Amino acid sequence: MNILLDVVQTSLEELKDGLAGKLNMTDAMETLATSININAQPAYWVTVAYPSQKNLADWYTDLLRRH
């Protein structure tokens, strides 16, 4: 669980900095932004997360409950 939370936090902070212009936008950041926009679990998060078929909003709510 700690690895998942670290991956989520780190990737969201990098995306925030990329969107603010502090970092160059990478393909991974663009993929993350696209996944968030379509309410899908980002592929990188799925590799370290527990199995779930939920959309991103429901998955995140479930993650908060589990934590």
- Domain hosting residue 38, numbered range: 2-66
The pLDDT of residue 1 is: 87
Q: φ, ψ for residue 44 (rounded to 5)?
A: -65, -35
pLDDT score of 20 more than 90: yes
The distance in angstroms from the start CA to the end CA of the chain is 8
User: Rounded CA gap, 48 and 6, in Å?
Assistant: 10
If one counts the domains in the chain, the total is: 1
Q: What is the chain's mean pLDDT, rounded?
A: 95
Q: Average of pLDDT values for 1-29? A: 95
For position 9, what pLDDT does the model report? 96
**Closest to 22 in 3D by CA, of 13, 34, 31:** 13
Which amino acid is present at 4? L
